[in-house]
Amino acid sequence: MRLTTIARMDLAAGTVHRYSVQVRPVPDAQVPVSFDQERHVSLGSRPGSWIAVAFRPTHPAAREDLARAWHAVIARHGTLNTVFSPATETPTHDAGPPTLTSVEVRRGAWTTPQAAPDEDPREVLRREFDRACDPFAAPSYELCVVEPEGGRGGDSRPTVVIGFDHAHVDAWSLLIVVRDFTACLADVVNGAPSPGSNLPQAPAFARHTAELAARPPAPDSVRRRWEEIMSAGSGEMPVFPLPLGDISAPREEVVEVHHVLDTEGVERCAAHARSAGTRMIALAVAEMTTTLQERGADGLRAVFPVHSRTGDTWHDSVGWFITNSVLDCDSGDPRECGRRISEAVALGTHPLEPLLRPWGGMPHTPGMFALSWLDHRRLPVDIDPELEPQHVSARICTTGVMVWFVVNDTGLHMRCRYPDTPQARDAVGGWLRAVSTGISRHAEAMLVKPPKMQAELYR
């Protein structure tokens, strides 16, 4: 799946159509809100709180068939049948926790949003999702389809683009949505009475939230480690350690995408990691740490999202199965970085709310630095590349630095979002280029190893 933004997604000129379902509240059907959902939703209504997935069905499909397939997907996933409400009529950051209730999803209608002549459909989609995929919208997702003008090279397949407020989905969920949608669409086209009935069971995300809240308290060693982490940041989350300029208010974002390694390069880099007794992610973290230290930083301290889909119960469910940890590395030794990564993942297996309660929850720190790693090849959900899938991010204003690494069947890709200031363009942009070059060197190292060493790697 290609990692991109609404401004850079691959999309031919065409007309955008939207399908908006109708919802009706279910009486006395409140469901639990996860710690991370509450943190996201409590920031209130705002544009750009969404993520989207885009793909092209392998065969042309009528809009009515797309709508029927979409309803089958919605019916499978509990989180798509819930709606957030603010604690007060005018939600603010201090208004109190939001509530989440179940709703009955009913048939909607196709409409065509207004667009200026020759307006880029990406702008139309952005406007639609900023409006419809709001934390407090009912529902906070929308199905759109872009029908190409005359087809691309005779290809008349539409592009399906589905946006969600982030509180209901994570990156893994986007893969599930594509898989389920295409399976349900095939059933609809073939006249199956119950589209999607052959798909795996998908327990509701609210059940996961309840189970997480019912876990026993974290061990004292974990609590002490979180106390050390928060004390090191004076009660704040890690910030990017190089100059970002004036971020007293959110700035327009800069998004850089680096295609670091192709498929063969990934295999060579992974082999080099194995020869060093570690993994490719540890090599990447070692490069990030070293290049930061070369620029005067003490090392790498970053918020480190980890998934909470423990076991295989939740592999086929849509939801925000993401919690946060902190990755702290002051050594460029890949093996030491590997140990620090393992520690961060272990910290992220415990519910955060009771651990961060002394600091009022997870602080929203200006300049916050976060680092994500997702290897699609290791996920149990497989997506046909012929669907041309794209993970589409919103355009936002920001004060922080977020780096995503994605490994898929086309290679290793690095995307970064940071505030648009001269200092950040220089500091973050230069650092990203150095990291990309450093990771590439690990792959190139395998090209100069003698055959005997290469053979020894696989004994």
**How many whole angstroms separate alpha carbon 123 and alpha carbon 118?**
11
Q: Residue ranges per domain, the chain? A: 2-211, 220-456
Q: Which CATH number fits domain 220-456: 3.30.70.20, 3.30.559.30, 1.20.1440.230, 3.40.640.10?
A: 3.30.559.30
Q: Give per-10-residue mean pLDDT for the chain (459 aa).
A: 91 95 93 94 93 93 96 98 83 70 97 94 97 97 92 78 97 96 96 95 96 92 94 94 97 94 95 93 97 97 92 93 94 95 93 91 93 92 92 95 94 95 97 96 72 31
CA distances from 141 to 1, 351, 448 (A): 20, 27, 50
CA distances from 400 to 113, 216, 254, 337, 356 (A): 33, 33, 11, 23, 20
Tokens, residue 364: 């929203």
**pLDDT tens sequence across 213-257:** 899 999 999 999 999 999 999 999 999 999 999 999 999 999 999
**How many whole angstroms separate alpha carbon 183 and alpha carbon 113?**
28
C-beta of residue 365 within 8 angstroms of C-beta of residue 236? yes
Report the pLDDT value the prediction gives residue 149, as an integer from 0 to 100: 83
Report the pLDDT value the prediction gives residue 83, as an integer from 0 to 100: 97
Tokens, residue 441: 């060197």
Element (H, E) at 220: helix 220-232
At the topology level of CATH, where does 2-211 sit? Chloramphenicol Acetyltransferase (3.30.559)
Note whether 2-211 and 220-456 share their fold: yes
Element (H, E) at 255: strand 251-261
Report the pLDDT value the prediction gives residue 153, as an integer from 0 to 100: 61
Exposed, middle or buried: residue 141 (CB in 10 Å: 0-12, 13-18, 19+)? buried
C-beta of residue 204 within 8 angstroms of C-beta of residue 406? no
Return the sign of the alpha-carbon dihedral for residues 37, 41, 43, 47. Answer: positive
